[in-house]
Amino acid sequence: MTKKLLSGDEAIARGAWEYGVRFASAYPGTPSTEILEAVAQYREIEAQWSTNEKVAFEIAMGASIGGARTLVAMKHVGVNVAADPLMTFAYTGVNGGFILVSADDPSMHSSQNEQDNRRFAAFARIPMLEPSDSAEAKDFVGAALEISETFDSPVMLRITTRTAHGKSVAVLGERQEHALRNPGKIDREKFVMLPMYARRRRVVIAEREQRLAQFAEETPLNRIEPGDRRVGFVTSGGAYAYVKEVWPGASFLKLGLTNPIPAGMIRRFAASVDRLIVVEELDPYLEEQIRILGLPVEGKSIFPAIGELTPDIVRACLAKAGLLEAAAAPTHAAVDGLTPRPPAMCPGCPHLGMYLALGKLRDATITGDIGCYTLGALPPVNALDTCICMGASIGTAVGIQKARGDGKNIVAVIGDSTFLHSGITGLLDAIYNKSTITIIISNNGITAMTGGQEHAASGHNLRGEPTYSVDLVALCKGLGVEHVFAADPTDHKAFSQLVKRETQADHLSVIVSSQPCVLYPQKVKRGKYAVDAEICIGCGACRKSACPALLKSDQKTAKGHFKTVIDGELCTGCGLCASVCPVSAIQPVAKGV
């Protein structure tokens, strides 16, 4: 018996391998990204990054219809993108077992919202499992595939940042091969959702829900842990561990299957305790359903509905409700007002040169998108006016022009991975509806924000094998944009001139700004740069780039301006600062010095 510490994400990948998954796809997104990265180690699973979550879902759906056990993974907001196929695949049902992993991010550690995707499982009427730790994450993959095939439904496996990234012990098993299910002709009445067939499936789904409700009463995924009868906690996922920590002796109804809920079991449990309390992160999802059963229940009257729970919060809330003793105040206080460390773009990041040029525009409106370049919304760059969801920069910029009439000085900034994910359709609309904005695709060759994943223009796939790479300039031209420019953001003068000219022009333009990310797919190795203090006039033009390697020197000019010095450990040799310097004080460090 091999025991191993696995993250929830790694455990799901291991579960996929052990329980015979043959195909897995994803679009990266924290905290789900590591699932496919871990799946990629298992050669028996055909695994891939897809261009976005909808495509990832559809390909996985096809693999299931083809008969393979299948898994698709995404972050919570990815499910919004994949919602269209999800809602109707819920009608058709599956062939090979199908798991949708939804990785939610309560507290928005790295997300733009904290939507509670348990609502999606209920909305789509599909079963949902919520593991509390890595051992369960692995086992629940097996259970979910069984449920999927038995009840003919896609199944949601819902994790949160803490269960996805936290590590705990799991026992490893061997792979069980599962042959393709029904590899013959595809059942059209099941998979062609014309209204006449869909109406029939709708009834089948209602029957499926009833059978699942019965299953929920019997499955060991749900269990009662009897204890102190004064209080009974209904809980699931990560929250279970926190309550167990602060009150191990209480009575628990631990739900592994959270859609549908086991009404009978909940009634029995409620009857066995004095107070019934639901502990759940985010929405009162279980609480509302239990209230509909007519049971007196507490939940959000005690616990917050915003942000993730922690054992501290659970203890404090239970103390406030008079159920537990409050924790003694800590003997030490955290020191307030400490130097903040906001995340910053890397030294030599290609986004910096783009922002330096944009910073020179007067009165520009700049719509942003999601990626490392979103950090350009923060000081010292302070460039972005909007950032809503992936791909939105282009549509938002077009809409601002529609409202205000003039496309001059309206710029959309979008990363390469994001452009491929959902920017292309926005661009097509901009062309079709005669927009005259300027679009900058900041192309660093990789999906960097999520840790450096390959995409359709990076030339490699999930396993690092070489593959077709789309030419972004040709793609934009092919769509019909007349004014497309390939540009180098580290060549400041030329780049800045181009941006100025195009933002003043009365036509739609796309600037493909290309230089590699300095971290991914591997750290760049380039010669470094240094400032000649004799020549430096202390104008500070280079430091406006916000490159973290450019520091104020101790030396001042005669006029009292700080000269610049380059931190040789941080510099990655992009050359941006040298191209900005008006007196050529910044030069490459000669080799061998």
Ligand X SMILES: Cc1ncc(C[n+]2csc(CCOP(=O)(O)OP(=O)(O)O)c2C)c(N)n1
* CB 502 to other proteins: min, Å: 29
| Binding flag, residue 418, ligand X (CB under 6 A) | yes
Q: Kindly state whether residue 550 participates in binding ligand X, applying the rule CB under 6 A.
A: no
Q: Tell whether residue 519 is a contact of other proteins (CB under 8 A).
A: yes
Residue nearest to ligand X (CB): 415
What burial letters (b/e) apply to 209-248, b meaning 16+ CB within 10 Å? beebeebbeebebbeeeebeeebbbbbbbbbbbbbbebbe
Judged by CB under 8 A, which stretch of 175-183, 265-273, 305-313, 510-518 contacts other proteins? 305-313
444 interacts with ligand X by CB under 6 A: yes
Among 547, 563, 581, 585, binds ligand SF4 (CB under 6 A): 547
What is the signed CA dihedral for 500, 505, 509, 511, rounded to 10 degrees?
-10
Residue 446 within binding range of ligand X, rule CB under 6 A: yes
Out of ligand SF4, ligand X, other proteins, none, which partner does residue 215 contact, by CB within 5 to 8 A per kind?
Answer: none
Binding of ligand X at residue 58 (CB under 6 A)?
A: no
Residue with tokens 């799946």: 39
Q: Per rule CB under 6 A, is residue 575 in the interface with ligand SF4?
A: yes
Let me know: does 397 contact 367? Beta carbons within 8 Å.
yes
Q: Which stretch binds ligand SF4 (CB under 6 A): 67-75, 193-201, 423-431, 546-554?
A: 546-554
H helix and E strand count, the chain: 21, 22
Instruction: With CB under 6 A as the rule, give the number of residues binding ligand X.
Output: 23
Amino acid at 121: A
Which residues, 6 or more positions from 510, have their beta carbon under 8 angstroms from its beta carbon?
Answer: 427, 438, 439, 440, 441, 476, 481, 483, 484, 485
576 binding partner (options ligand X, ligand SF4, other proteins, none; Cβ < 5 to 8 Å by kind): ligand SF4
| Beta strands per DSSP E along 355-408 | 365-367
Given 257, 282, 549, 585, the residue binding ligand SF4 (CB under 6 A): 549
Closest alpha carbon to 361 in 493, 484, 494, 496? 496
Q: Please state the closest distance from residue 84 (CB atom) to other proteins, in A.
A: 27
Choose the contact partner of 518 out of ligand SF4, ligand X, other proteins, none; CB within 5 to 8 A by kind. Answer: ligand SF4
The total number of residues written for the chain in this structure: 593
Q: Which residue has the tokens 């449990």?
A: 269
Binding mask 308-337 for other proteins (x = CB under 8 A): --xxx--x-----------xxxxxxxxx--
**Taking CB under 6 A as the rule, which mask of x and - marks residues 338-357 in contact with ligand SF4?**
-------xxxxx-x------
For every residue of 25-47, DSSP letters joined together read EE---TTTHHHHHHHTT-TTSEE
| Of 99, 84, 154, 109, nearest in space to 131 by CA | 99
Cβ neighbours of residue 464 closer than 8 Å, sequence gap 6 or more? 454, 521
Residues 562/582, Cβ–Cβ less than 8 Å: no
# residues near other proteins by CB under 8 A: 52
Among 400, 416, 420, residue whose Cα is nearest residue 408: 400
Residue 483 is a binding residue for other proteins (CB under 8 A): no
Residue 162's nearest CA partner among 238, 102, 101, 110 is 238
Q: Which listed residue (48, 444, 496, 509) binds ligand SF4 by CB under 6 A?
A: 444
**Nearer Cβ to ligand SF4, position 97 or 347?**
347
**Interface residues toward ligand SF4, by CB under 6 A:** 345-349, 351, 372, 444, 448, 517-519, 529, 545, 547, 549-550, 566, 571-577
**Interface residues toward other proteins, by CB under 8 A:** 3, 5, 30-31, 109-110, 133, 161-162, 165-169, 241-242, 244-245, 248, 310-312, 315, 327-335, 338-346, 372, 375, 379-380, 451, 519, 543, 546, 548, 551-552
**Interface residues toward ligand X, by CB under 6 A:** 27-29, 53, 75, 77-78, 81, 370-373, 390, 415-418, 444, 446-450
